[in-house]
Homo-oligomer: A and B are copies of this chain.
Amino acid sequence: MAFRPLHDRVLVRRIEADQKTAGGIIIPDSAQEKPSEGEIVATGSGAKAEDGTVTPLDVRAGDRVLFGKWSGTEVKLDGEDLLIMKESDIMGIIS
């Protein structure tokens, strides 16, 4: 099942931060802040201006990105928890 985001939306897979401390102790889930790193899974065709012109997005499937901790809407696609957000919620690309 493929999902194609509309316009300036992107589909993001959250990358869980490493859950061990430096000393190897596993931190229980509630003791950590939710990570805000992810991988772009799919992108819309671009932002659509009021006059209909479409501007392609600057992120691409596969990009590793940072996004605001509370950005996006959670969806379940093929049993996997993903996030749909607007490109403007993406703060930058890690390379």
Contact = CB atoms under 8 A, between A and B. Distances in A.
Interface centre among A1, A3, A36 (most CB of B within 10 A): A3
Contacts of A51: 49, 51, 53, 55
Interface in A25-58: 36, 42, 44-45, 47-53, 55-56, 58
Interface of A: 1-7, 9, 11, 36, 42, 44-45, 47-53, 55-56, 58-59, 66, 68, 73, 75, 77, 84, 87-88, 90-95
Given A7-B58, A47-B52, A50-B55, 15 more contacts: A2-B95, A3-B66, A4-B93, A4-B94, A4-B95, A6-B87, A6-B90, A6-B91, A9-B91, A9-B92, A42-B92, A48-B55, A48-B58, A52-B56, A75-B91
